[in-house]
Amino acid sequence: MSLPIVLVSGWAMPATVMEPLAEALDGDGRVSVVQLPGLVWERKKYDWKQLLDYLDMHLLETPVILIGWSLGGTLASIYASQNPDKVAGLVTLGCNPCFVRNQDWSEAMLPQTFESFYAGMQEDSAATVDQFSLLCSMGNSNRKEVAKNLQSAVRRDADLESTILLQLLKLLGASDVRSQLADIRCPVVHCFGKDDALVPSDTGKRIEQDYPAHNVLMMEGGHCFFLDHSTGAIRQVADQVNRLCNRS
């Protein structure tokens, strides 16, 4: 019997954004997408523990193959490190162990860039999420199409809850999952877009250096490289997931 596959969406992005990848992976109806809080009206506060509980609640059958995009990949990495019996394989998409640069990790976003983006969310969350959609699409050969689809998905599929999005953005800015990555027992694959506007391409090289047991794939495209059909990225991710399923 094949393993269930669970995709975890990224910050500010509804589950529908990941449907093209889910469809490519769904051979027998055992693929689902978990949408992070923030694009639904939930008057709650979230920290990592609550997010882990939130993800666990959506895993109806284990063990699973977890696939997390950006913040979703950070959450999936923490979950895999803490729940080795529930995760048979982990795939991260455009996910940096440290989203913001620090003294020990230079392959990340500049602090002042993150602070400017955070301030934008406080001032005008809707406009800033639109800007974020543009940043996600940069580097893709179908950039205009992806940006339009991301913006439409946010407006169509969800009610923007800026308070929760700010909480999650703050968690992302302070995230450092290097120790958790070292603790993960299952096979791990990290996929990056060569022209990602949010995660420097050198991140892949650093992960290869620090985590030799993990596999790293560099693909054509940006932060949404898995939505660029012309590059075959979806097929590459699907092949990696199939390998993980066969190993389990």
pLDDT tens sequence for the chain (248 residues) = 478 999 999 999 999 999 999 998 876 668 999 999 988 776 688 999 999 999 999 999 999 999 999 999 999 999 999 999 999 999 999 999 999 999 999 999 999 999 999 999 999 999 999 999 999 999 999 999 999 999 999 988 767 789 999 999 999 999 999 999 999 999 999 999 999 999 999 999 999 999 999 999 999 999 999 999 888 888 888 888 888 877 76
* pTM for this entry: 0.95
For the four alpha carbons of 38, 41, 45 and 51, in that order, the dihedral sign comes to: negative
Place of tokens 């996910």: 95
Q: Give the per-residue pLDDT at 246.
A: 74
- Residue 141: CA count within 13 A, CB half-sphere: 9
Residue type, 120: G
Place of tokens 């999936």: 76
Alpha carbons 226 and 18: distance in angstroms, whole number: 9
| Element holding 15 (H helix, E strand) | none
Q: Give the per-residue pLDDT at 100.
A: 98
Alpha carbons 192 and 230: distance in angstroms, whole number: 16
| Element holding 164 (H helix, E strand) | helix 162-173
Nearest alpha-carbon partner for 18 in 2, 39, 32:
32
Q: Give the per-residue pLDDT at 21.
A: 92
- What are the structure tokens assigned to 75, written together? 């959450």
Q: Give the per-residue pLDDT at 42.
A: 67
